[in-house]
C-alpha cells in the first residue's frame, strides 16, 4: 500500500480516493491487500456514523434534493460522504453515471466527498463495490448517503446496507400508486414527497400516503413511517427532513437496534459475495442458504472477506470428496 491509512482516517480526500480505488480492484492478486485494508477500516469505523439510503424512481428530483441534504448536514457541522449508484448496461457492461452533474457542492469543502458507482453485473443493483467502499466512508464521514435509482430490487438491497432508508416520490406521477401496490411500503423509514410546491397534487399525495400507511406494516417496530414534504424548487422542507433522519438514527441507537443491524449487514455482505462466487451451487454444497447464514453468524464477522475465504475452503473441502467418488 503506497499510501498512509492515517491520512484516510483524517479524511484527506486524496487518500480516501486512493483507498476506494484499491478496494474496487477485483484482481485475485489484490484480495490479500484488500482484506488487510478492510480489516483496518472496519476497526476504525466511526461509532456515530449514520448510513442513509435515498431511493426513488427516476425524475423525482433526487439529485437536487441531495444538494440540499448535503448543505443542511454541513451547516450542522457534519461531514458527508455520498455514493451514487447507477445501473450498468447488461449488454456492454458500461454505465452512465450522471448524478454528479446535478448535485451542487463545493469542490473546496474537505467535508464532502462524492463517488459515483456502476451497479455492475450484480442483479439487485447495489454493486459489491458499494459495500467494499462503504467501509472507507464509514471510517471517515459522519453521514454516509447512498443514492440509488429505485427500480426493482434495489430498495430491498438498500435496506441491507443503510440504517435509515428514505423513499422519494413526487406528487401526481403514479409513482405513489405503484409504490403502494408493490408493497415497498415496508422498507423505508421515511417517505419524502418532493416537488411539494405543486400544492394541490401534493396534498392529495399526502392524504393517499397517510391512508396507505395505516394499512401497511411498519419497517421497524416502534417506528412509524414518517412523511416529509419538500420542495427543492422553493427550497423548503429539508431541515425537517434532516430532523426526521436524525430522529430515526437516535431511535436506532437508543433501542440498541443499530449494533444488531450492523452485524446483520455484514452477514448479508458475505452472503452476497458468496453467491456471486458460487451461485446456488455453493449454497447447496454447504446445506442451503439459511445454514450458510447461520455458519457466518456464529463467527466474528468484522472482516467479510475473511469469512468468505473461510467459506470458500469449506466449499472446496465438501466438494472434492464427492468428485473423488465418481
Partner 1 sequence: MTASVNHPKDRPWLMRAYSGYASAKESNLLYRSNLAKGQTGLSIAFDLPTQTAYDSDDILAKGEVGKVGVPVRDHEDMELLFDQIPIEKMNTSMTVNASTAWVIALYVAAAQKQGADISKLRGTTQNDIVKEYLSRGTYIFPPKASMRLTSEVISYTVNQIPKWNPINICSYHLQEAGATPVQEMAFTLANAMGVLDAVKESGHVKEEDFPNVVGRISFFLNAGIRFIEELCKVRVFTKMWDRICEERYGVSDPKMRRFRYGVQVNSLGLTSQQPENNIARIIYEFLGVVLSKDARARSVQLPAWNEALGLPRKWDQQWSLRLQQIMAFETDLLEYDDIFAGSKVIERKENELEEEARAEIDRIQEMGGIVPVLESGYMKQQLVESNTRKLRQIESGEKVVVGVNRFEEAEPSPLTADTEGFFYVVDDSVEAEQIRILEDFRLRRDKEKVARALDHLREGIEKGKNIVELSIECARSGVTTGEWGKTMREIFGEYRAPTGVSLVAADVPQTGEAGKVNERVRKLNDKLGRNLKILIGKPGLDGHSNGAEQIAVKARDVGMEVVYEGIRLTPEQIAESAMQEGVHIIGLSILSGSHLDLMPEIVRNMKKRGLADIPLVVGGIIPEADMEKMYHAGVKKIYTPKDFNLNDIMNGIVDVVAQANHVEL
Is there binding between residue 25 and partner 1 (CB under 8 A)?
A: yes
Residue choice 1, 4, 6, 21 for contact with partner 1 (CB under 8 A) = 21
What residues between 184 and 203 interact with partner 1 by CB under 8 A?
195
Query: Minimum distance from CB of 96 to partner 1 (Å)?
Result: 4
- Residue 181, φ and ψ in degrees, nearest 5: -60, -45
Is there binding between residue 26 and partner 1 (CB under 8 A)?
A: yes
Q: Compute the Cα dihedral for 136, 277, 56, 177 and give only its sign.
A: negative
Applying CB under 8 A, which part among 11-19, 44-52, 151-159, 288-296 lies near partner 1? 11-19
Which CB, 73 or 137, lies closer to partner 1? 137
Which CB, 29 or 320, lies closer to partner 1? 29
Applying CB under 8 A, which part among 21-29, 36-44, 177-185, 280-288 lies near partner 1? 21-29
13-24 vs 128-140: helix crossing angle, rounded to 10: 150
Size of the site for partner 1 (CB under 8 A): 45
Cβ atoms of residues 52 and 73 within 8 Å = no
Q: 98 vs 58, 70, 211, 215, CA distance in Å?
A: 12, 18, 35, 36
Length of the chain: 326
Which CB, 61 or 163, lies closer to partner 1? 61
Distance CA 18, CA 33 (A): 13
Is there binding between residue 11 and partner 1 (CB under 8 A)?
A: no
What residues between 66 and 125 interact with partner 1 by CB under 8 A?
86, 88-89, 91-104, 107-108, 113-116, 118, 120
| Vertex 302: Cα angle to 189 and 278 (nearest 5) | 85
Q: 137 vs 78, 112, 131, 245, CA distance in Å?
A: 13, 11, 10, 18
Q: Which helix (H) or strand (E) holds 81?
A: strand 80-86
Query: Minimum distance from CB of 90 to partner 1 (Å)?
Result: 9
The x, y and z cell numbers of residue 93, run together, are 457492461
Query: Minimum distance from CB of 43 to partner 1 (Å)?
Result: 23
Residue choice 53, 56, 61, 163 for contact with partner 1 (CB under 8 A) = 61
Query: Can you name the residues that pair with 148 across neighbouring β-strands?
Result: 55, 85
Residue choice 10, 14, 76, 277 for contact with partner 1 (CB under 8 A) = 14
Beta-strand pair 80-86/112-118: parallel
Label residue 143 exposed, middle or buried (CB < 10 Å: 0-12, 13-18, 19+): buried
From 19, 25, 21, 20, select the one nearest 7 (Cα to Cα). Answer: 19
Which CB, 229 or 296, lies closer to partner 1? 229
Applying CB under 8 A, which part among 22-30, 248-256, 261-269, 279-287 lies near partner 1? 22-30
Query: Minimum distance from CB of 234 to partner 1 (Å)?
Result: 9
Which CB, 135 or 164, lies closer to partner 1? 135
What residues between 225 and 264 interact with partner 1 by CB under 8 A?
233, 235
Binding site for partner 1 (CB under 8 A): 13-14, 16-17, 20-21, 24-27, 30, 58-59, 61, 63-64, 86, 88-89, 91-104, 107-108, 113-116, 118, 120, 172, 195, 233, 235
Amino acid at each position: 500500500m503506497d499510501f498512509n491509512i492515517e491520512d484516510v482516517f483524517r479524511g484527506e480526500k486524496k487518500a480516501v480516493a486512493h483507498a476506494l480505488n484499491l478496494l474496487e480492484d477485483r484482481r485475485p492478486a489484490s484480495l490479500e491487500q484488500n482484506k488487510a485494508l478492510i480489516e483496518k477500516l472496519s476497526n476504525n469505523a466511526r461509532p456515530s456514523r449514520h448510513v442513509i439510503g435515498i431511493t426513488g424512481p427516476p425524475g423525482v428530483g433526487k439529485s437536487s434534493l441531495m444538494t440540499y441534504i448535503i448543505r443542511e448536514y454541513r451547516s450542522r457541522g457534519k461531514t458527508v460522504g455520498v455514493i451514487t449508484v447507477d445501473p450498468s448496461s447488461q449488454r456492454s457492461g458500461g454505465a452512465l453515471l450522471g448524478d454528479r452533474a446535478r448535485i451542487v457542492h463545493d469542490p473546496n469543502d474537505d467535508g464532502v466527498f462524492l463517488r459515483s458507482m456502476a451497479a455492475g453485473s450484480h442483479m439487485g443493483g447495489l454493486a459489491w463495490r458499494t459495500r467494499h467502499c462503504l467501509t472507507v466512508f464509514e471510517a471517515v464521514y459522519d453521514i454516509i448517503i447512498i443514492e440509488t435509482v429505485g427500480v426493482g430490487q434495489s430498495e430491498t438491497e438498500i435496506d441491507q446496507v443503510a440504517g435509515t432508508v428514505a423513499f422519494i416520490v413526487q406528487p401526481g406521477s403514479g409513482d405513489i400508486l405503484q409504490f403502494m401496490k408493490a408493497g415497498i411500503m415496508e422498507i423505508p423509514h421515511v417517505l419524502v414527497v418532493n416537488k411539494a410546491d405543486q400544492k394541490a397534487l401534493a396534498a392529495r399525495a399526502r392524504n393517499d400516503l397517510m391512508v396507505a400507511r395505516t394499512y401497511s406494516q411498519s419497517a421497524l417496530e416502534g417506528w412509524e413511517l414518517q412523511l416529509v414534504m419538500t420542495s427543492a424548487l422553493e427550497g423548503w422542507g429539508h431541515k425537517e427532513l434532516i430532523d426526521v433522519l436524525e430522529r430515526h438514527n437516535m431511535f436506532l441507537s437508543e433501542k440498541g437496534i443499530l449494533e444488531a443491524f450492523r452485524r446483520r449487514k455484514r452477514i448479508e455482505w458475505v452472503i452476497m459475495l458468496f453467491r456471486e462466487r458460487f451461485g446456488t451451487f455453493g449454497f447447496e454444497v454447504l446445506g442451503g442458504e439459511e445454514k450458510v447464514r447461520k455458519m457466518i453468524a456464529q463467527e466474528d464477522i468484522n472482516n467479510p472477506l475473511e469469512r468468505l475465504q473461510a467459506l470458500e475452503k469449506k466449499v472446496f473441502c465438501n466438494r472434492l470428496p464427492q468428485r473423488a467418488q465418481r
